[in-house]
Homo-oligomer: A and B are copies of this chain.
Amino acid sequence: MADVKPIGKALFLREEELRRGIELMFFAYRDFTGEADSILAEQNMGRAHHRAIYFIGRNPGITVSDLLAILCITKQSLSRVLSGLMEDSYVVQKPGASDRRQRLLYLTATGTALESRLTSLQGRRFAAAYREAGVDAVDGFQRVLRGLLDSDTIEQIAQQDQTSDI
Contact = CB atoms under 8 A, between A and B. Distances in A.
A153 B25 CA distance: 12
Nearest to A21: B126
A29 to B, nearest CB: 5
Number of identical protomers: 2
Interface hub of A54, A141, A150 (most chain B Cβ within 10 A): A141
Contacts of A136: 136, 140
Contacts of A10: none
A160 to B, nearest CB: 9
Interface residues of A, number: 52
A19 B119 CA distance: 8
A113 interface: no
Contacts of A14: 127
Contact of A141 (B26, B58, B134, B141): B141
17 contacts: A14-B127, A18-B123, A18-B126, A20-B142, A21-B138, A25-B28, A26-B51, A27-B157, A28-B148, A29-B29, A129-B147, A130-B147, A132-B143, A136-B136, A137-B141, A137-B144, A141-B141
